Amino acid sequence: MKALLHLVEKMKPAFSKGGKLEKLHWVFDGLETFLFTPGHATERGSHIRDGIDLKRTMSVVITALLPCLLFGIWNVGQQHYQAIGQLVGLGEGFWEKVLFGAVKVLPIVVVSYGVGLGIEFLFTSIKGHPIQEGFLVSGMLIPLVMPVDVPLWMVAVGTAFAVVIGKEVFGGTGMNVLNVALTARAFLFFAYPTQMSGDKVWVSTATDLNLPLVDGFSGATSLGQAATGHVDRIASLSDTFWGFEAGSIGETSAFACLIGAAILIITGIGSWRIILATILGGAAMSWIFNLVGANDYMRIPVLHQLMLGGFMFGTVFMATDPVTAAQTNTGKWIYGFLTGLLAILIRVVNPAYPEGVMLAILFMNVMAPLIDHYVVQANIKRRLKRAAVQTA
């Protein structure tokens, strides 16, 4: 580490004012402060309100995402081998499954970071402002919400759209209205629906041996089965909790998401109010559907409904985005509750969008400033009324 620090210090004059590479100063500064603790605190960005540096904040979120990433890599291999009828047991061929998953997942991660950071560096050079490190998290979230067989060019296009249209046009990190990763996911979902939905994109069945798939294999997710009326075919509560089912790379394991939630809450990075409110909102909508009971989908037990699909992943890592979520404490309760409510409502009522959490969070991202506005106005009116009583 000392040798790396010495190398960085040796290169620094060339990137400083008056140096040969002065125009790339902000690129060098971003890399330097990513590797070592900076001598300054973050000043710009609406979601940073104390002395903590933005890079350290992003590092905590990345750490919280690691359980989802690592489990997702293994589960990609597990679903693949299960589809071809080999190494079916959970304890069989662990390293074979990890290797297969890594080969499929890591290129998606590399493309996401390569394109996203490349665009960040380009805007940094043009605008002459410091590297905005928010993409450190978005670059990991984008692969985790993708199906495993998504073409790499689509990842590149979706990432570019999200960074440029979803963030940079609003002024960069801390200024965006919509969650960047969900913007990429929504863009690809609506632009290329056949590659982002259906039964053929969630499990990679490619094999050099051209082995036949096992009888009865469909590749459909539990939500896909439920949306088509086959509720009896959805994964069990245990499998949905641990994540032993098909789905987006990092979204299937509620257990991995809860580990991430614990990290975010303990470190104070994630809002426990939003997480709890979103779960309560989803539970309330599920309970209402249980009471209605018009079809088998509505009769899925509350806890099972919350474990399905990407609800927990969206709750922990997307709804809590400090830039696009509500900022007031009361607003966080309202924002989270409505997010959970809408996620289950869209999921059950509209079969065209079986994963309702994506649309629910994006919609509530737009509503968050309005929620905060009315919360603040209510507080002002309360205080004015109190002041009027005291002076009377």
Q: What angle do CA 282, 247, 367 make, to 5 degrees?
A: 40
Q: Which two tokens stand for residue 378?
A: 């209510």
Residue 172, sorted as left (phi over 0), alpha (psi -120 to 50) or beta, turns out to be: left
Q: Which residue from 111, 183, 109, 189 is spatially nearest to 153, judged by alpha carbons? A: 111
pLDDT digits (tens, 9 = 90+) for 143-194: 999 999 999 999 999 999 999 998 888 777 677 889 999 999 999 999 998 8
Give 107's DSSP letter.
Answer: H
Regions of the chain where pLDDT drops below 50: 42, 44-51
Instruction: Note the pLDDT of residue 363.
Output: 95
Overall size of the chain counted in residues: 392
Instruction: Note the pLDDT of residue 298.
Output: 93
| Rounded Cα gap, residues 204 and 338, in angstroms | 35
Q: Is 380 exposed, middle or buried (0-12, 13-18, 19+ CB in 10 A)?
A: exposed
User: CA–CA distance from 142 to each of 138, 179, 197 (Å)?
Assistant: 6, 11, 16
Q: Which two tokens stand for residue 143?
A: 């692969």
Q: Is 298 exposed, middle or buried (0-12, 13-18, 19+ CB in 10 A)?
A: middle
Instruction: Note the pLDDT of residue 50.
Output: 47
Residue type, 175: M
Q: Is 329 exposed, middle or buried (0-12, 13-18, 19+ CB in 10 A)?
A: exposed
Instruction: Note the pLDDT of residue 33.
Output: 55
Instruction: Note the pLDDT of residue 18.
Output: 62
Residue type, 226: A
